[in-house]
Amino acid sequence: MDAPATRTTCPYCGVGCGVLVARNADGTVTVRGDTEHPANFGRLCSKGSALGETVGFEDRLLAPQINGRRANWNEALDLVAATFSRTIAEHGPDSVAFYVSGQLLNEDYYVANKLMKGFIGSANIDTNSRLCMASSVAGHRRAFGADTVPGTYEDLELGDLVVLVGSNLAWCHPVLYQRIAAAKQKRPQMRIVLIDPRRTMTADIADIHLAVRPDGDVALFTGLLAWLADHDALDRAFIAAHTNGFDDAVAVAKALSLDEIADQTGVPADELRAFYTLFAHTEKAVTVYSQGVNQSSAGTDKVNAIINCHLATGRIGKPGTGPFSVTGQPNAMGGREVGGLANMLAAHMEIENPEHRDRVQRFWGAPRIASQAGLKAVEMFRAVAGGRVKAIWIMGTNPVVSMPEVGLVEAALKTCPFVVVSDVVSETDTLRLAHIKLPAAAWGEKDGTVTNSERRVSRQRPFLPSPGEARPDWEIVCDVAQRMGFGKAFSYASAAEIFAEHAALSAFENEGTRDFDIGAYAGLDIAQFEKLAPFQWPSPSGQARQRSRFFADGQFFTADSKARFVATLPKPETRTSDAYPLVLNTGRVRDHWHTMTRTGRSPRLSQHLAEPFAEIHPRDARRLGICDADIACLSIGAGSVLVRAFITPTQARGSVFVPMHWNGQFASAARINCVVPSTTDAVSGQPAFKHVPVQLSRFDAA
């Protein structure tokens, strides 16, 4: 490296790896893993290693645009503020909405949330993280009383049994996979169980792979709870002292026999027995879960079915134990902290709680505060389509590719009277529909913080100037807020000032009350921002009770401090039919990220899997007359996509897997969400991307 390295954080997945970046004399950028960062200790995956190839200035949005015409910032910001203000005056606060992103930094998120909930007075702000972890948030709140991940990455190495549920960690959280694989090499007695309909690369380190039927997880873990109760494998003292609802949950669980669970999960009874026995006899057990659990119409129940088993055995809050949700996006966790979800307030407070609303309003000095939850992602675009939302601002995300039912999202934005999109790139499927385009600063140009899946807050630091007129998202939001007449509350000079305000609110939330005292950022201030080393909340400087794990003391965030069991029973799933006989499951590939607006720029990353494809089991392919490398057509109703057939026995019979990444620029007929309806989990509002009955046929161009 030619210049001193900048210490920052990878902008891709929720592992949140530390990276060291240096600018070279020839203008290129060199990236290596930060050996001192506790998330990765120097490791990087293929995406992180290729970050230097994706920071060029080509394809960037360089100046604001109004209806396709280049504009200056004043003109664009005046128009955004005036149109939002007029719409609110004519139709009320709920006629406007912000759709934000897990790519935003905590400080960006914080001010967008503050503007919408405290000053506009609506809770119509939701994040694309709704698509990746809302069910975990809802499950945590039901069980623990607050959205708190109990454990740490270290627990995944310390566990004697690591259960991976609906998670292709090898491709989607590669550095965590590397850490578990290395731990297993050191301790060969460690057992790894993979529960996934697909035999993914992650199965390479698994001792047992349970090929559960899509959405069979509730039955599988409800059966485990009954097994633990029947085989004297409970921590009765923990249950009695620290939980409520155990008897009801077990009574419901015992309604299913092992044979019925085998039938519902598709896992033979002897394999279930082997897994249940292993779990019952392994004290240090950790259960890691991801989108296969969250992205389901029963996502929240799946989360609680898993948590129930850990509460029943008291395996939570101790080294090597616990339920552990891994988030998809780099700052999905940060969005949960600052109120990026339509049903939350900043500093983990709840919008439905009048006391929390009062605290936040007083702290902000806000003229009003939203009094009820706003529109969640799917509801938001439906409201745009129906004309209830008349002005929307989309920040750093591409919903015309990533949302379910993208046809509806596209049609909604085409008819919406006012669409603002701020983004770093000059063209996405969503930007094409914007009346106002605002150029945002990208990774490497922005200053702030992000939070990873283990609650670890790390700095993102700039090492490049922004090209053209691009600006940080927080500055753009604050400039609009000032033009809407909320100047004083949005007059920050830096991201550090916003960080300090959020930290102060995090301390303010304590106020001596028992019902809520996470104090995630308590005690931190502006002076600590610059040199901030990665830390796990609750903030070590804010309290005497520094801890990297929650709940070891059996104290939860409910009114009586006890955790809650949630009785779960499998619900009838969306059935296949003669018309739609296969189940579609969508997900990520190793080397691409979301809608490829960044990784699509790296030839090296595109070499791994160069085009969209459908993984099909050989027997399904034979029955349908589809050969390897044929073009396959997936359809549902009027929607269809065309992708290359990839015939593989790793795919379960009766199902098909298609990656989520390809957008209209790379493969116009391959936006897989054209065939994914907007079915959501009733509790969390998270869309079900993993269980879509579809029709599959060979595409015949003639």
Residues that bind ligand SF4 (CB under 6 A): 10, 12-13, 15-17, 40, 44-45, 47-48, 173-175
Of the two residues 105 and 476, which places its CB atom closer to ligand SF4 in the complex? Answer: 105
Of the two residues 333 and 692, which places its CB atom closer to ligand SF4 in the complex? Answer: 333
Nearest distance from C-beta of residue 39 to ligand SF4, angstroms: 7
Nearest distance from C-beta of residue 44 to ligand SF4, angstroms: 4
Q: Judge residue 294's burial from the number of C-beta atoms within 10 Å of its C-beta, 0-12 exposed, 13-18 middle, 19 or more buried.
A: buried
- Please choose, from the candidates 577, 607, 578, the residue with its C-alpha nearest in 3D space to the C-alpha of residue 592: 607
Interior CA angle at 9 toward 5 and 14, to 5°?
A: 160
Q: Which residues contact 78 (CB under 8 A, 6 or more apart)?
A: 483
Interior CA angle at 491 toward 68 and 350, to 5°?
A: 90
Nearest distance from C-beta of residue 400 to ligand SF4, angstroms: 24
Nearest distance from C-beta of residue 49 to ligand SF4, angstroms: 7
Of the two residues 46 and 665, which places its CB atom closer to ligand SF4 in the complex? Answer: 46
Strand partners, 132: none
Contact of 567 with 485, CB cutoff 8 Å? no
Across 424-576, where does the E strand assignment appear? 436-439, 448-451, 456-460, 535-536, 563-564
Task: Name the residue type at position 190.
Answer: M
Nearest distance from C-beta of residue 200 to ligand SF4, angstroms: 16
Of the two residues 171 and 550, which places its CB atom closer to ligand SF4 in the complex? Answer: 171
Nearest distance from C-beta of residue 272 to ligand SF4, angstroms: 32
Do strands 582-587 and 18-23 pair parallel, antiparallel, or not at all (unpaired)? unpaired
Nearest distance from C-beta of residue 620 to ligand SF4, angstroms: 32
Nearest distance from C-beta of residue 15 to ligand SF4, angstroms: 4
Q: Judge residue 545's burial from the number of C-beta atoms within 10 Å of its C-beta, 0-12 exposed, 13-18 middle, 19 or more buried.
A: exposed
| Cα–Cα distance, 539 to 565 (Å, whole number) | 28
Of the two residues 125 and 333, which places its CB atom closer to ligand SF4 in the complex? Answer: 333
Q: Which residues contact 31 (CB under 8 A, 6 or more apart)?
A: 19, 20, 21, 44, 48, 49, 51, 52
Shortest-Cβ-distance residue relative to ligand SF4: 48
Rg (CA), the chain: 24
- Please choose, from the candidates 68, 52, 56, 47, the residue with its C-alpha nearest in 3D space to the C-alpha of residue 427: 68
Nearest distance from C-beta of residue 19 to ligand SF4, angstroms: 7
- Please choose, from the candidates 242, 234, 274, the residue with its C-alpha nearest in 3D space to the C-alpha of residue 258: 274
Q: Two tokens at 148?
A: 């708190």
Of the two residues 384 and 424, which places its CB atom closer to ligand SF4 in the complex? Answer: 424
Nearest distance from C-beta of residue 104 to ligand SF4, angstroms: 16
- Please choose, from the candidates 597, 642, 669, the residue with its C-alpha nearest in 3D space to the C-alpha of residue 432: 597
Q: Which residues contact 521 (CB under 8 A, 6 or more apart)?
A: 337, 347, 457, 502, 503, 506, 507, 537, 539, 542
Of the two residues 17 and 626, which places its CB atom closer to ligand SF4 in the complex? Answer: 17
Nearest distance from C-beta of residue 22 to ligand SF4, angstroms: 17
Q: Which residues contact 396 (CB under 8 A, 6 or more apart)?
A: 100, 101, 103, 104, 422, 423, 424, 440, 473
Nearest distance from C-beta of residue 531 to ligand SF4, angstroms: 22
| Cα–Cα distance, 342 to 54 (Å, whole number) | 32
| Cα–Cα distance, 558 to 484 (Å, whole number) | 39
Q: Judge residue 654's burial from the number of C-beta atoms within 10 Å of its C-beta, 0-12 exposed, 13-18 middle, 19 or more buried.
A: middle
Of the two residues 15 and 373, which places its CB atom closer to ligand SF4 in the complex? Answer: 15
Of the two residues 390 and 592, which places its CB atom closer to ligand SF4 in the complex? Answer: 592
Of the two residues 19 and 366, which places its CB atom closer to ligand SF4 in the complex? Answer: 19
Cis peptide before 538 (omega within 30 of 0): yes
Nearest distance from C-beta of residue 113 to ligand SF4, angstroms: 24
Q: Judge residue 160's burial from the number of C-beta atoms within 10 Å of its C-beta, 0-12 exposed, 13-18 middle, 19 or more buried.
A: middle
Q: Two tokens at 546?
A: 């520094």
Nearest distance from C-beta of residue 548 to ligand SF4, angstroms: 19
What SS3 class is residue 274? Answer: helix
Nearest distance from C-beta of residue 14 to ligand SF4, angstroms: 7
Of the two residues 48 and 448, which places its CB atom closer to ligand SF4 in the complex? Answer: 48
| Cα–Cα distance, 696 to 702 (Å, whole number) | 17
Q: Report the C-alpha dihedral over residues 265, 285, 276, 190, rounded to 10 degrees.
A: 100
> How many other CB atoms are there within 10 angstroms of residue 256's CB atom?
18
Q: Which residues contact 12 (CB under 8 A, 6 or more apart)?
A: 47, 48, 330, 593
Of the two residues 7 and 47, which places its CB atom closer to ligand SF4 in the complex? Answer: 47
Nearest distance from C-beta of residue 51 to ligand SF4, angstroms: 8
| Cα–Cα distance, 686 to 66 (Å, whole number) | 33
Of the two residues 12 and 324, which places its CB atom closer to ligand SF4 in the complex? Answer: 12
Of the two residues 103 and 304, which places its CB atom closer to ligand SF4 in the complex? Answer: 103
Nearest distance from C-beta of residue 495 to ligand SF4, angstroms: 21
Ramachandran bin of 594, using left for φ above 0, alpha for ψ from -120 to 50, beta for the remaining angles: left
Of the two residues 200 and 695, which places its CB atom closer to ligand SF4 in the complex? Answer: 200
Of the two residues 139 and 174, which places its CB atom closer to ligand SF4 in the complex? Answer: 174
Q: Judge residue 607's burial from the number of C-beta atoms within 10 Å of its C-beta, 0-12 exposed, 13-18 middle, 19 or more buried.
A: exposed
Nearest distance from C-beta of residue 184 to ligand SF4, angstroms: 18
Ramachandran bin of 170, using left for φ above 0, alpha for ψ from -120 to 50, beta for the remaining angles: alpha
Of the two residues 47 and 617, which places its CB atom closer to ligand SF4 in the complex? Answer: 47
